[in-house]
Amino acid sequence: MRPHRPGTGGIDSPKALRLRRLANQRASCGCAVFVVAAVVLLAAGHHRVSQWLFGDRLASRGAEIATYPLAVNIANPQVMRYDLVGIEAHTYAPNGRPIPLKEPPALTVLREREPQATVGHVDRLVMRYDWHRRCYAANWPVPWNASAGDYVVDVRCHIPQPEAWQWGLNVRVPALPKGAKKDDRWSECVARTRVIVAARRPPDLGHGLCIATWEDPPPNGNLRRPDGSMGDWKALFDWAEFVGADAVWCRGAATQVSRGVNLSMQQPFVTDEDGINRVAHEAHRRGLKFGTWAMAFATQPRTSNAGKPPYKYAQIVGKDGSSRDTDFISLLDRDRPKHLAAWLHRMAENSDIDMVGLDYFRPDRGGYEAADDFLRLMPLTLPPELAAMSLAQRRGFVADMIERQWRKEPDFYDEWKWYQSHLVALRLRDIAAHADLKTKPLWVFTFGWLHGLQSGQDPLMMTDAGADALAVMLYQLTSVAHYNLMVTQWSKYVAAGQANLLPGDTVDFGLHQKLTRPVAAPEEMNRRIVTAALSFCKDGAQTGAFWHDISRAIRGNVGPYPGREWALAGAAAFSTVRRAWQVYPLTADVAIPASAPVGTAFEVRLTIKNLTRQPLKGLTLKLEETPDLEPIDKRDKTLAEVAAGGEAVIPWQVRIKAHDRPRGDRFMVACRVNWPDAEFLAPVRRDLPRVIVAMKYLNGS
């Protein structure tokens, strides 16, 4: 409904209305106009209501007379979860000139009418006047794991002379009762705008994706096979097939200075692209997917940057307040993302490469070269003496708060970690945009501690920025309890479908606390992969998993367990992950006693269940060779048929040959099941390896 136009017929002119209102105001103890009420009444019938609610600038900056004393503006109202949203509030005098106020406007972000606290438990942003732009400004960090959808930016201020404004509409403004004192709320001005938080939906990579990694450059010499025999570099894929992987990832590029080799901005990587082409082609020949990755911000050696390209390196602050370079390239460096994008693009052009990835995509120690921007941009409560400090002192202040005061100042620490995650996401966004990967997925290795927060690798920010999958590293933990806490933290933070998570664990006796009892270290590795894949989200299993890495199984710190045993534990984890997605036509479970005397026979029972409505034919079954266990009957067996929806039980008689004190007399039993290719209904997948490994441990007595 349009307002009345001034004219004849008993309708007062705007000037008469204004004079009448002024007379009423003077008669009411000189009180201010209740601007909020006026605007609400205006909104009831005025065609500009949508502009007022959603932030189109109402103040006529080029006109002689302003129509409203406050306007709020966001340059780009659609944002992602990694964005630091710049908000401007423009305040005007009645003549249209920008003016600062006695008190800055108050800014609150609402979601469904409820105030939303952002990082650091900040629920109201402090706006500061920018004399260059002649407006108030503040930055809103999108909260951790913010729900996608509409948010309202609510800005409020008090205007000094509300009676001086010309509203020009037939609106009755209520006056204060006689004898009432002036109430500043009656001069409160409100302006609102909308900001839309968007969330990128990760692509469908296929349920049950399981990867075996090779953390070294492409192999070229002889390698030991899983059975202990020697082979050439192609033994890499014997391990991948043994573990039941459907993809192999191999490190392809690193900024690594070795004797006699200096790198430059024109040649920033050591990379064997001929070797990558060779192993990628062999992977496809064997029916495996292949991916290659680059070390993103880490450089080697860690002891010196001599001979490395002249990047801007991350800064740490010493106890004496001095800054020095680390071996990590700074997240503020603008050349490194271009170099990484160019390399990824070149790899993605290879038809034998199915995925590309990045490791060490994070800040390391320090990163205090970003301290000044952090202090300037984030909504922090800072001591007044900070303004008089030098750059070095400000960096020292941030370093002290992060490294020594973080328990006392958790909100400051939270904001610092958000800002680092913000920078990581911006760099990833730039790389993904410039790499032009088309249909090739991009994965990133991420730390698992506190769902990535402690390493500046927020999984949702990185997904929004272009990560199609996140390979979450479950290692470098101090205890089993530390791991269990990490799983709980993930399950409270991420929901199914928000990100493609591929949790993985590594072959390393030390990183599994050198466990022998009550569980063996490979057994604990299996548990960690399975638990993460099934429990990182409370409402669904993860996309897949990875087993890290083949080179460590061959020549790493395996402890009293051979690499083959670590591989079988990884294979059993892969089988359990795929079972959760029901992508196989059958299940296989092994049953054994909890313990058995050394030298005495015990029974292994393998139960096969057909999940389909058609018979399964021609299954091959194998009792795997594991240390100190020997079968009394044949290792290899066949199963002619399992009826549709049916079940079959296959027994073996086995004994423990001898005590093995270094491994705590805890022994692995593992069975392998293979089946021929056939047509099956969804969700069964024909493109996955047709293998299941079922595994359990028992104690020798």
Residue 383 maps to a domain: no
H/E run at residue 692: strand 691-700
What confidence category does residue 474 fall into, taking pLDDT thresholds of 50, 70 and 90? Answer: very high
Which residue, chain included where needed, has tokens 């008689």?
Answer: 653
Structural domain count of the chain: 2
Q: What's the CATH code of the domain at 131?
A: 2.60.40.1930
User: Does residue 48 or residue 125 have the better pLDDT?
Assistant: 125
pLDDT in the model for residue 551: 97
pLDDT in the model for residue 68: 84
For the chain, percent of residues with pLDDT exceeding 90: 81
Residue 656 maps to a domain: yes
**Is pLDDT at 32 greater than 60 in this prediction?**
no
**Is pLDDT at 439 greater than 60 in this prediction?**
yes
pLDDT in the model for residue 538: 79
Which residues pair with residue 202 across a beta bridge?
Answer: none
Structure tokens belonging to residue 453: 């927060």
Domain termination residue (choose one: 198, 217, 232): 198
Residue 245 maps to a domain: no
Cα-Cα-Cα-Cα torsion 321, 324, 330, 336, nearest 10 degrees, comes to 160
pLDDT in the model for residue 65: 55
**Is pLDDT at 21 greater than 90 in this prediction?**
no
pLDDT in the model for residue 173: 52
Determine which of 76-80, 182-186, 331-335 has the lowest per-residue pLDDT on average: 182-186
pLDDT in the model for residue 101: 94
Q: Is the dihedral of CA 676, 681, 682, 683 positive or negative?
A: negative
Half-sphere exposure of 107 (CA within 13 A, CB side): 28
The b-or-e profile of 59-95 (16+ CB within 10 A means b, else e) is: beeeeeebbbbbbbbbeebebbbbbbbebbbbbbbbe
pLDDT in the model for residue 182: 57
> Nearest-CA neighbor of 213 among 462, 560, 475, 576?
475
In this structure, are strands 247-256 and 289-300 parallel, antiparallel, or unpaired? parallel
pLDDT in the model for residue 166: 63
Cβ neighbourhood burial of 141 (10 Å; 0-12, 13-18, 19+): buried
pLDDT in tens, 240-271: 999 999 999 999 999 999 887 889 999 999 99
pLDDT in the model for residue 43: 32
pLDDT in the model for residue 94: 85
| Max avg pLDDT among 45-49, 184-188, 472-476 | 472-476
The DSSP output letter for 320 is T
Residue 613 maps to a domain: yes
In this structure, are strands 504-506 and 691-700 parallel, antiparallel, or unpaired? unpaired
What whole-number distance in Å separates Cα of residue 114 and Cα of residue 116?
6
What whole-number distance in Å separates Cα of residue 415 and Cα of residue 453?
11
Structure tokens belonging to residue 129: 């006047």
**Is pLDDT at 54 greater than 90 in this prediction?**
no
pLDDT in tens, 519-558: 999 999 999 999 999 999 878 889 999 999 999 999 999 9
Q: Strands of 537-665 (E only): list them.
A: 544-548, 586-591, 595-596, 601-610, 616-623, 629-631, 636-642, 647-656
Is there a contact between 8 and 175 (Cβ–Cβ < 8 Å)? no
What confidence category does residue 292 fall into, taking pLDDT thresholds of 50, 70 and 90? Answer: very high
> Nearest-CA neighbor of 338 among 262, 430, 468?
430
- Domain limits at 125? 14-198
Q: What is the mean pLDDT of residues 8-35?
A: 36
Which residues fall within 8 angstroms of residue 75, CB to CB, at 6 or more apart?
86
H/E run at residue 16: helix 14-27
Which residues fall within 8 angstroms of residue 248, CB to CB, at 6 or more apart?
211, 212, 213, 214, 236, 237, 240, 279, 283, 288, 289, 290, 291
Q: What's the CATH code of the domain at 641?
A: 2.60.40.10
Is there a contact between 630 and 655 (Cβ–Cβ < 8 Å)? yes
Which residues fall within 8 angstroms of residue 249, CB to CB, at 6 or more apart?
211, 212, 213, 214, 290, 291, 292, 293, 355, 357, 546
pLDDT in tens, 344-379: 999 999 999 999 999 999 999 899 999 999 999 999
Residue 385 maps to a domain: no
pLDDT in the model for residue 180: 60
In this structure, are strands 135-141 and 84-91 parallel, antiparallel, or unpaired? antiparallel
Q: What is the mean pLDDT of residues 659-678?
A: 97
Looking at the chain, the number of H-run helices and the number of E-run strands are 14, 32
pLDDT in the model for residue 260: 77
What whole-number distance in Å separates Cα of residue 233 and Cα of residue 222?
5
**Is pLDDT at 169 greater than 50 in this prediction?**
no
pLDDT in the model for residue 96: 87
Residue 556 maps to a domain: no
Q: How far is C-alpha 474 from the geometric centre of its chain's CA atoms?
A: 14
Residue 666 maps to a domain: yes
Q: What is the mean pLDDT of residues 5-31?
A: 36
3-state helix, strand, coil in the chain (%, to 5): 30, 30, 45
Is there a contact between 497 and 540 (Cβ–Cβ < 8 Å)? yes
Q: Please, which contacts does 89-93 make with residues 24 or more away whose CB atoms are closer than 8 Å?
A: 89/127, 89/135, 89/136, 89/137, 89/138, 89/155, 89/157, 89/191, 90/57, 90/59, 90/61, 90/134, 90/135, 90/136, 91/135, 91/136, 91/157, 91/159, 92/59, 92/61, 92/66, 92/68, 93/66, 93/69
pLDDT in the model for residue 17: 38
Residue 602 maps to a domain: yes
Determine which of 54-63, 109-118, 131-140 has the lowest per-residue pLDDT on average: 54-63
H/E run at residue 41: helix 35-45
Domain termination residue (choose one: 140, 171, 198): 198
> Nearest-CA neighbor of 503 among 526, 480, 479?
526
Structure tokens belonging to residue 577: 């992950």
Q: Is the dihedral of CA 574, 577, 581, 587 positive or negative?
A: positive
Is there a contact between 448 and 459 (Cβ–Cβ < 8 Å)? no
